[in-house]
């Protein structure tokens, strides 16, 4: 049976003694679900899995999504390729929760390391529940009824400014109009409260005027990425990170450029709205 080793940080744990090439037993799936909710991000090592096995593993946790913009593995529209090299540096510098521009953002993602650079390329995660606990009490109270706007257009503003950017992303813009989410969300499994904003997609806090909104968002986005709420995952080939997209923000450490880094990601649908 699988075993868990917790990281010495606010979140994160590694699951050992499990072979993800094989179909999982129900109790193993339950163990992983519980481990994910409790630790917010879980890691696996030495899992040499094919796209078919990657997909079969992910299907244990829900239905699978496709991304409106990124390329995919041939024959697997649900496996997104994240590949960067000298000619195509990573554009993701911001801490974020994936796809909060959707009405129901994903439950989580399962990211597989295929080609790992010698140096750099770690992924950083930060706990939104630990960040909530770190707020002063009066602030916890004042945030609890606020709603914020999350926007695809805001998150992809740099791509939109590139030549033909708006034309290329026309359909994605139509399919993903701005949505609102509560600023404080409750995790459906653990019941923990979370700060649910991120600097990539959250454009405005509704009830505040523009300058108050900017000030509060910049405070919250600074706060949630404090080092005390973080863990850092050092990739090896065939490592996996499975994060709970409801309770973490993450970002890549892009210092590996111009080396090649190739990752394959499956994103799992959530069934519960964050309201
Ligand atoms: Fe991401």
> Which tokens hold the place of 70?
């990124």
Sketch out the chain's domains with CATH numbers.
3-268 (3.60.130.10)
DSSP state of 88: B
pLDDT at res. 273: 67
The H or E element that residue 161 is part of is helix 157-161
The verdict on whether 102 is a catalytic residue reads no
Query: pLDDT value at position 88?
Result: 92
Ligand 1 centroid–CA 109 distance in Å is: 9
- Alpha-carbon span 40 to 267, nearest angstrom: 15
Strand order from edge to edge, sheet including 179-182:
179-182, 147-150, 202-205
- Exposed / middle / buried, residue 113 (Cβ in 10 Å: 0-12, 13-18, 19+): buried
Query: What's residue 182's pLDDT?
Result: 97
Q: What is the pLDDT of residue 274?
A: 63
175 is catalytic: no
Distance from the alpha carbon of residue 112 to the mean position of ligand 1, in angstroms: 13
Cα of 264 vs centre of ligand 1, distance in Å, is 12
246, 250, 261, 270: which is the annotated catalytic residue?
250
Residues 54 and 57: their CA atoms lie apart, in Å, by 5
Please, what is the Cα angle at 152 between 146 and 158, to 5 degrees? 120
Per-residue pLDDT of the chain (275 residues; tens, 9 = 90+): 899 999 999 999 999 999 999 999 999 999 999 999 999 999 999 999 999 999 999 999 999 998 767 899 999 999 999 999 999 998 888 999 999 999 999 999 999 999 999 999 999 999 999 999 999 999 999 999 999 999 999 999 988 889 999 998 899 999 999 999 999 999 999 999 999 999 999 999 999 999 999 999 999 999 999 999 999 999 999 999 999 999 999 999 999 999 999 999 999 999 876 66
Distances (CA, A) of 146 to 58, 152, 183, 249: 33, 20, 6, 20
Which residues, by Cβ under 5 Å, contact ligand 1, an ion? 98
pTM of the model as a whole: 0.94
**Residue 248 in tokens:** 């973490």
Residue 138 Cα to ligand 1 midpoint, Å, equals 31
């Amino acid at each position: 049976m699988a075993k868990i080793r917790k990281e010495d940080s606010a979140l994160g744990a590694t699951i050992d003694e499990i072979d993800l090439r094989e179909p999982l037993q129900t109790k193993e799936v339950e163990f992983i679900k519980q481990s994910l909710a409790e630790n917010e991000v879980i890691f696996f090592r030495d899992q040499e899995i094919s796209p078919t096995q990657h997909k079969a593993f992910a299907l244990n946790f829900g239905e699978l999504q496709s991304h409106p913009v990124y390329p995919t593995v041939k024959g697997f529209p649900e496996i997104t390729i994240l590949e960067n090299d000298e000619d195509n540096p990573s554009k993701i510098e911001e801490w974020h929760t994936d796809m909060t521009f959707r009405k129901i953002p994903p439950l989580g993602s399962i990211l597989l390391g295929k080609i790992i650079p010698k140096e750099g390329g770690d992924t950083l995660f930060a706990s939104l529940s630990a960040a909530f606990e770190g707020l002063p009490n009066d602030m916890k109270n004042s945030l609890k009824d606020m709603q914020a706007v999350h926007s695809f257009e805001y998150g992809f503003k740099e791509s939109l400014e590139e030549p033909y950017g708006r034309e290329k992303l026309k359909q994605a813009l139509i399919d993903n109009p701005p949505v609102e989410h509560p600023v404080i969300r409750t995790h459906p499994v653990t019941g923990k409260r979370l700060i649910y904003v991120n600097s990539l997609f959250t454009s405005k806090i509704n009830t505040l005027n523009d300058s108050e909104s900017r000030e509060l968002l910049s405070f919250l986005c600074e706060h949630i990425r404090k080092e005390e709420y973080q863990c850092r995952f050092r990739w090896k080939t065939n490592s996996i990170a499975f994060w709970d997209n409801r309770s973490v923000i993450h970002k890549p450490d892009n210092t590996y450029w111009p080396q090649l880094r190739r990752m394959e990601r499956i994103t799992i649908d959530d069934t519960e709205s964050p309201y």
